[in-house]
Amino acid sequence: MLRLHMNIHTSKHKCRECGLCCKSSTELAVHGRSHSGERPFECSVCSRRFARSDTLVRHGRIHSGEKLYNCHMCGKAFSQCGYLSSHMRVHMGDKPYKCSVCDRCFSDSSNLRQHKRVHSSRKLYECRFCGKQFKSSIDVNGHIHIHISAMPYSCRHCADQFRWADQLKRHLLKSHNEGSWFMCDVCEKKFFTRRELKWHSFQHHGVKPYVCSECPNSFCTATSLKYHALVHSDLKQFCCSKCGKYFKTKPGVKRHFSKCDKLGLVMFNRRAHCSD
């Protein structure tokens, strides 16, 4: 592998634009498309175009749901090898990506990029319905659901409609007993998805593959570890729009907002009663 790699540095196939050395003339031609903008490979499902055929193959797994790379610790599967490598850092507690502002560390570069938006006042994503701006695409997509009333997934047995396919699947299982449940061999508890069953089985066997890098605590799921990590952080990125108080988690600010809103309504009623 090292000998093959060293051939890149001594290769005669060098890009005139950026100086990158390639293994062959074919690879140099493929690399040249990154400068020319040429993308000859088109996805037959979503029409997205790519410069390389192997990139198109990896992209196709998004539509097919094919996941070839499995984690040997928790069984989670991924469509790309790079995703599996990033996931393994969760089990190992490795966080090589450090925020230059608050020194918080992350196991994945994409998580670091998303985190950096907390320190920025820039809001690049705008709702196409009301114009409200957000710092991330995840936030704006979640907000758009307020405006969209379309329910494209309809139940064939009743008049119920759903916004997401997973919601329809759960409805068919729960209300019409259509589909397959995933049952625990130990307690016979039923679950909608194989992933939920896997997380549940960890509790019976005492398996906690997600280890905190700050303390000895370990957890059954990555979500539990993510929420636990907030204990070690002073970052409070969720703000109550009523009183301006900050919270570490979104559920925390939602619970507070409900109380804060009720308190404000009580105070308003008291003022109105006194004025009468």
Spell out the domain ranges in the chain: 1-66, 73-149, 180-260
Q: Which CATH superfamily is domain 1-66 in?
A: Classic Zinc Finger (3.30.160.60)
Q: What is the pLDDT of residues 152-211, one digit of tens each?
A: 678 888 888 887 777 888 888 888 888 778 888 878 888 877 778 877 877 777 777 778
Choose which CATH entry (3.40.250.10, 3.40.50.1220, 3.30.160.60, 3.30.930.10) describes domain 180-260: 3.30.160.60
pLDDT of res. 267 = 47
Q: What angle do CA 170, 141, 137 make, to 5 degrees?
A: 130
CATH fold of 73-149: Double Stranded RNA Binding Domain (3.30.160)
pTM of the predicted model as reported, rounded to 2 decimal places: 0.38
Bridge partners (DSSP) of residue 126 are 133
Task: Report d(CA 218, CA 56) in Å as an integer.
Answer: 38
Is residue 69's pLDDT more than 80? Answer: yes
Mean pLDDT, range 11-16, rounded to an integer: 78
**Exposed, middle or buried: residue 253 (CB in 10 Å: 0-12, 13-18, 19+)?**
buried
Q: Which residue has the higher pLDDT, 188 or 138?
A: 188
* 1-66 and 180-260 agree in CATH topology: yes
Query: Residue 242: which residues within 8 A CB-CB, separation 6 or more?
Result: 257, 260, 261, 264
Sequence-distant (≥ 6) Cβ neighbours of residue 110 within 8 angstroms: 86
Give the residue, 272 or 257, on which the prediction is more confident: 257
